[in-house]
Amino acid sequence: MTADNSVIRVVVVGNGMVGHHFVESLINSGQPAHITVLSGEPRLAYDRVHLSSWFTGSRAEDLALTDEATYQQWGINYVLNAKVEGIDRTQKLVTTQQQSYHYDVLVLATGSYPFVPPIPGSDQPHCLVYRTIEDLQAIEESAAQSKVGVVVGGGLLGLEAANALKQAGLKTHVVEFAAQLMAVQLDEGAGTLLREKIEALGVTVHTQKSTQVIEQGQECRYRMVFADGSFLETDMILFSAGIRPSDQLGREAGLGIGERGGIVINNKCQTDDPAIYAIGECALWENRIYGLVAPGYTMARAAVASIAGEELDFAGADMSTKLKLMGVEVGSIGDAHARTPGAQCYTYHNQPQGVYKKLIVDANHSKVLGAVLVGDTSDYDTLLQYCLNDMALPQTPETLILPASGEKPALGADALPATATICSCHNVAKSDIVEAIEGGCASLGEIKACTKASSGCGGCTALLKNVVDSEFEKRGVAVSKALCEHFNHTRQELFHLVKIEQIRSFDALIERHGSGMGCDICKPAVGSILASVWNDYVLNPSNVPLQDTNDTYLGNMQKDGTYSIVPRIPGGEITPAGLIVIGEVAQKYNLYTKITGGQRIDLFGARVEQLPDIWQTLVSAGFETGHAYAKALRTVKSCVGSTWCRYGVQDSVGQAIALEHRYKGLRAPHKIKFAVSGCTRECAEAQSKDIGIIATENGWNLYVCGNGGMKPRHGDLFATDLSTPTLVQYIDRILMFYVKTADRLQRTSVWMDNLEGGLAYLQSVVIDDVLGINSELEAQMQQVIDAYQCEWKTTLASPEAKKRFRQFVNSKQEDTNIQFVDERGQIRPATELEKTPEHARIPVELV
């Protein structure tokens, strides 16, 4: 920091997750600075933690942590594809291939690069790494030309990469030099169980294998020859054998480098040049490289504090981790290998259920040193807090890992000290949450916004809520579970009231069980409940006030005030005649057309008054509404299955069409997506859907509660080798149980994560009927199916309903704000600049 607090020039080399966090923290600190960010990649920061979601449908925009507009708003000078060629420490100058930049402070956030063992043949095509979005694109391209894939490396990143190959549809192998998987995080017993679980999911594991050469194969593209004389043939090889710090710039600039790499830093994250900082995986602190994002974030904050003249040292970081690998829960805390002198262990191994838990304590049995969990990580948060805060153990420590019983000690929020870290990603302590409440935060959402807790990986969400609820209760604030101020009931309670009392309108419900006039929270929620129970026409006069804009106009409103139209295309199957009709509609009304990720065709740019005429054409040709505007079943995606594909073992298209017709129109707390794959190559990406079905030679495997998007979740395997009648019966029960019990706007994935007892409980409800409600669930689903109607068709038959679809009530004049320009042979909304008289515009004619 300059002595007069003037603006300093900060140059950041690298814009990964840690580099971006540094920039964000520096902006939030208020320190006057002119910031230049040099990104070696063609895009700004994105989420590397969830790279595998690329193979379940996520794209670059879904993974993005920021965008150019945000950096411009912050006043940051950012340069993409900026490869730094050198650092002149004397002149304080950073040079790229295009330009040089002066700095007062230089921050190296260059991260790491994948280690590729020096194996002859490893530089051939289809021998790839797994690190960047460009790597993902290369893997995707290679997978399209391959049948078999091998990951070299059985660590955490290697198993993530294996999951990516499996999701890409390849027969997948993992080759590991060590004797077990995840040898750094897990002990031998946990590693053995993890291997069993991974192999049960269809990934073949090879341990204690050292590859000597990669040569031309006979059955596949390559043959990997191992030191023991055995070999493995594959079409592509993905190296994930660890990382190496990207410290080359530091080396060339003469900075201190560790014996095994890494730019040496002190507690303030400064190198031996006080004007240069290093953070993240390129930095070496106390002879250690930290390969997780949370320690990198802590380094970033320490560097910002030092630049701003504040006191905040980096003092190491906890490397505990909890994750799901291909649906398998894994947790590792502290001294997982019991290497501390005098350490003693408690082990619980339930082989039939596939659960392994190990608790490591000190010689006096007074504190937790570490833990290992495979198959069940429900105790992770409790054990982590015991470990991090040196909390005294109960008299019987083994109860911390034994199955739930009356003797199991509960670790409440009150037992945590003020210094307890609740969110490791953003270094939020319990005291920070208390301070936020004292400062006026009155809800969980406000506390998240204020502290950023639970806005990183999300693993602390449950613990955060417990702490917040406890602190509110201490202050005499009732922790209400009411839907809103107008209903002192949860969504589930309102659902039961509507069903049991045969309530069919919002007015009747609020008169009997609420107060006031309702709001933007309760009206849509009640509208969804009424639709789920009775499936009445959503534009009935009593229902219209409950709908949001999209439901009101039976289409999705776009940014320029026009609407998109998505006809249902069950299973993605469409006749040439149907394609022609859609093309004719798009051409007649000058609509932008796009194939969606759910195997449908989206038509953009329709004016509100054009909607009925467009629907009429589509309905006359046999199309129905695709409910793209509703919290309802959207699509049932499918591959071509056994009908055409040489790998298919079941008719996935026929099954997808039947399921889509059965559940179309089902309204739910949130949107629902299905997929049906005709074989385990999984071309329909079923395991990333709310309901995923994969064909086997003996029937169907059912996966539940997966989703893509910003927080991807792998679906849980619910049941295997089901007949079609049993499959449908289970889906009926699962969906209706979800509709009855989920919170408002809650995806099935979040519902499952919050469901007490999780997957096992859901299986007991659906398969074993422990609640005795399956007949009721099936009858309710049948009632919804019987009440189905195409909302477009119903609207077209109602002159009163059609009156809604006018731009202006008393005029046929068009909305002059809606203007388009040509781009790639189609229309797009004009920008504000393009709407000015100086720019050409293409108004759409009224039809």
Is 470 within 8 Å of 412 (Cβ atoms)? Answer: yes
Tokens encoding 124: 């051939």
* Sequence-distant (≥ 6) Cβ neighbours of residue 636 within 8 angstroms: 570, 571, 656, 657, 659, 660, 663, 673, 674, 675, 676
Is 748 within 8 Å of 690 (Cβ atoms)? Answer: yes
Q: State the first-to-last Cα distance of the chain, in angstroms, to the nearest integer.
A: 64
Q: Please state, as a whole number, how many other Cβ atoms lie within 10 Å of the Cβ of residue 368.
A: 25
* Helix segments in 439-539, DSSP class H: 444-451, 461-474, 491-500, 506-513, 522-534
Is 379 within 8 Å of 359 (Cβ atoms)? Answer: no
Sign of the C-alpha dihedral computed for residues 693, 695, 696 and 700 taken in this order: positive
Tokens encoding 418: 């003020």
What are the backbone angles phi and psi of residue 320, rounded to the nearest 5°?
A: -60, 150
Show binding-site residues for siroheme.
Answer: 683
* Cβ neighbourhood burial of 601 (10 Å; 0-12, 13-18, 19+): buried
Question: Could you give the CA distance from residue 43 to residue 46 in angstroms, rounded to a whole number?
Answer: 8
Show binding-site residues.
Answer: 639, 645, 679, 683
Question: Could you give the CA distance from residue 291 to residue 187 in angstroms, rounded to a whole number?
Answer: 19
Question: Could you give the CA distance from residue 66 to residue 44 in angstroms, rounded to a whole number?
Answer: 7
Q: Which of 315, 252, 242, 314 is nearest to 86 (CA)?
A: 252
Show binding-site residues for [4Fe-4S] cluster.
Answer: 639, 645, 679, 683
Element (H, E) at 21: helix 17-29
Q: What is the DSSP letter of 353?
A: T
With H, G, I as helix, E, B as strand and everything else as coil, classify residue 681: coil
Report, in this order, helix, strand and coil percent for the chain, each rounded to 5. Answer: 35, 25, 45
Question: Could you give the CA distance from residue 837 to residue 847 in angstroms, rounded to a whole number?
Answer: 25
Tokens 């004719």 — which residue? 584
Question: Could you give the CA distance from residue 814 to residue 609 in angstroms, rounded to a whole number?
Answer: 9
With H, G, I as helix, E, B as strand and everything else as coil, classify residue 88: strand
Exposure string over 393-425, b if 16+ CB within 10 A, otherwise e? beeebebbbeeeeeeeeebebebbeeebbbbbb
* Sequence-distant (≥ 6) Cβ neighbours of residue 224 within 8 angstroms: 150, 175, 211, 213, 214, 231, 232, 233, 234, 237
* Sequence-distant (≥ 6) Cβ neighbours of residue 672 within 8 angstroms: 632, 633, 634, 663, 666, 690, 691, 735, 748
Q: Please state, as a whole number, how many other Cβ atoms lie within 10 Å of the Cβ of residue 472.
A: 18
Whole-number Cα distances in Å, 365 to 70, 360, 692, 753: 51, 9, 46, 33
* Sequence-distant (≥ 6) Cβ neighbours of residue 331 within 8 angstroms: 320, 321, 322, 323, 371, 372, 373, 374, 377, 380
* Helix segments in 65-168, DSSP class H: 68-73, 133-143, 156-167
Question: Could you give the CA distance from residue 630 to residue 94 in angstroms, rounded to a whole number?
Answer: 52
Q: Please state, as a whole number, how many other Cβ atoms lie within 10 Å of the Cβ of residue 613.
A: 16
Q: Which of 552, 351, 381 is nearest to 460 (CA)?
A: 381
Cross-strand pairs, 421: 429
